[in-house]
Structure 1
């Protein structure tokens, strides 16, 4: 009898395993698409919000502002690069548009704290572990996000000064240091365990994969050498390590052993010109760093990431430029045939860069166009996007309580006159 039971068990075994208990196969998206998870950070295009914290509404139309939505709304809608200017004001460090008399968006620490809060509240490397099991849904998308910050260091603050503010905000807990991946072995094996203390397991690796980078030991030292676009960690590498914030500073006079995640922008990036006032004058040629100005070949061979400024200004007098809203629909258009359109410039730059797409596209009023369409096209993810917030005009900065919005009303106004007065006053105080 025992023999027949054993034989029956063997015969039924294939049928048991052919119909196992249904398990959830969660679709994981990185920066809103599953197709980007295995792409190196430097080989995809990140949408950037120019002067991210300087906001206005369509009805106010403050000429010293560059966006309709605040920074966390930008992130929710798909922006992955936030830029801002840092100035010293009354012993504190504020985000100001050229002058704190023109537009003061509050302190750097407050802004960083808001971004940190957004990163805390939005899907991170442990989110999959907290999603309820659902046997009837095997493809719920979970979007894991890598964010970049670029600060214009207007008053030449030291890395230690800036780093202490990052630390006070708590956002440094997400910060990426290049040595975390570039000074170790040239290959890495993805696993479900992270090296960050207290970080939840990461859901990518159900099979063994390799990439061009891996997490290094804690004894690694930072480097200021350029990293070739394909040698940056993949988005999944950054997320699994808990280092999903990349920070560039323009510019730093020295690096800091204490804050090695503050990266001197032009050691890693080259930019085209940024003071364009005609739709026909957008160019892909490097302008900064100055030793690479006009030399596209050398800029590319240096390994720096291509950064494309694409926003149109208009002169308001005294050398002051404000966003050209009359042409914003064209400037941010995804069209690849219209002169001055974002789509046209992006494709032109990709061609001039020998097939390498711009790593960053920086725009004013990012929601117009919408500019994200151009980024999705470059990343070839238009049909696989998930997890973005669709913004409406009622969501714009009119509902924001930031000090920056109030300061803009006081100093910017609906035309440039208050801006001119502010700049003149600032110049007088400097005499």
Structure 2
């Protein structure tokens, strides 16, 4: 893959239903991870995960389905509006839909649904860059149309600890979703990224410039960008 971001995960909330001891025997490929909190595992993550093909705006050599098969467990998706779509559905584009348009969000989400259906011991994270400020309700509708919303993890605001991967797998809440804009309590499983996540700079022009400086207030969850 052309671009790879590694997620060093640490979120700050859990669901009360997840307090039971994990029963899963393998979690994201390793039995050793089942007892580790979601915030104690690093996940390989791709930037502009959908942006493939022979295009100046492409970032990946493989599509989302192939990335999932290869072990990628974090995905960054940029949402745009398409002027020609009267329904106003979210599309996956890079910079603009004229430059690169990979189709509707709902179609990409169906790949995640298939993967989670077929791989019962895997946890996946999606980062939404909400470039044109879709509402949480609009974003959630795409997940519902893909029948993916039932997998989404909704935090319990009364707790400050993440569940283990095994616990998330046991209750089948194996998808974590963040958005950088327009999170809303009406959709409790689309999480406000800035409340949980800090990233290192992504506009790095040479390898010697990579560092671990946070680009905002430090949060428990780190995204370590590592691409030029």
Q: TM-score range by the shorter chain?
A: 0.7 to 0.9
**Alignment equivalent of 2:146, drawn from 169, 172, 182:** 169
Per-residue CA deviations over 1:349-380 (Å, capped at 9, x if unaligned) read: xxxxxxxxxxxxxxxxxxxxxxxxxxxxxxxx
SS at match of 2:26: strand
How many residue pairs are counted as aligned between the two chains?
202
Match of 2:178 among 245, 248, 251: 248
The structure 1 residue matched to 2:210, chosen from 282, 290, 294, is 282
Question: Quick one: distance in 1 between partners of 2:131 and 2:52?
Answer: 19
Match in the other structure for 1:99 = 96
| Structure 2: gaps spanning 5 or more residues | 1-23
| Structure 2: distance between partners of 1:172 and 1:311 | 31
1:311 is the counterpart of 2:227: yes
Matches of 2:112 and 2:64 in 1, distance apart? Answer: 7
Quick check: 1:74 aligned with 2:78?
no
Match of 2:166 among 232, 236, 244: 236
| Mapping for residues 112-127 of structure 1, pairs under 5 Å | 112-122=109-119, 124=120
1:178 maps to 2:155: yes
In structure 1, list runs of 5 or more residues that go unmatched: 1-26, 125-143, 185-226, 293-298, 313-431
| CA deviation profile, 1:220-266 (whole Å, cap 9, x unmatched) | xxxxxxx5xxx2110001001110000001122x4132x21000111
> Which residue of 1 is the match for residue 34 of structure 2?
37
Select the residue among 252, 265, 277 that pairs with 2:193.
265
Alignment partners' CA distance in 1, 2:111 and 2:72:
15
Do 1:52 and 1:66's aligned partners in 2 also have CA atoms closer than 8 Å?
yes
Q: Deviations over 1:174-202 (max 9, x none)?
A: 000011xx636xxxxxxxxxxxxxxxxxx
Deviation at 1:92, TM superposition (A): 2.5
TM-score (norm 1): 0.45
Deviation at 1:28, TM superposition (A): 2.6
**Secondary structure at the counterpart of residue 30 of structure 1:** coil
Q: Do 2:90 and 2:134's aligned partners in 1 also have CA atoms closer than 8 Å?
A: no
CA distance in 2, matches of 1:64, 1:269: 26
Pairwise CA distance, 1:84: 1.1
Greater helix fraction, Structure 1 or Structure 2: 1
Which of the two has greater strand per residue? 2
User: Which position in structure 1 is the counterpart of 2:131?
Assistant: 154
1:398 corresponds to? none
The list of structure 1 runs, each at least 4 consecutive aligned residues, that deviate by more than 4 angstroms after superposition, is none
Alignment check: 8 A CA contact 1:267 1:304 kept: no
- Say whether the 8 Å CA contact 1:160–1:256 is kept in structure 2: no
CA displacement at 1:166 relative to structure 2: 1.2
Q: 2-side partners of 1:47 and 1:36: how far apart?
A: 15
The answer as to whether partners of 1:271 and 1:286 remain within 8 angstroms in 2 is: yes
**TM-superposed deviation, 1:163:** 1.1
Q: Higher relative CO (CA 8 A, sep ≥ 6), structure 1 or 2?
A: 2
**Deviations for 1:331-358, whole angstroms, at most 9, x for unmatched residues?**
xxxxxxxxxxxxxxxxxxxxxxxxxxxx
Q: Distance in 2 between matches of 1:92 and 1:239?
A: 31
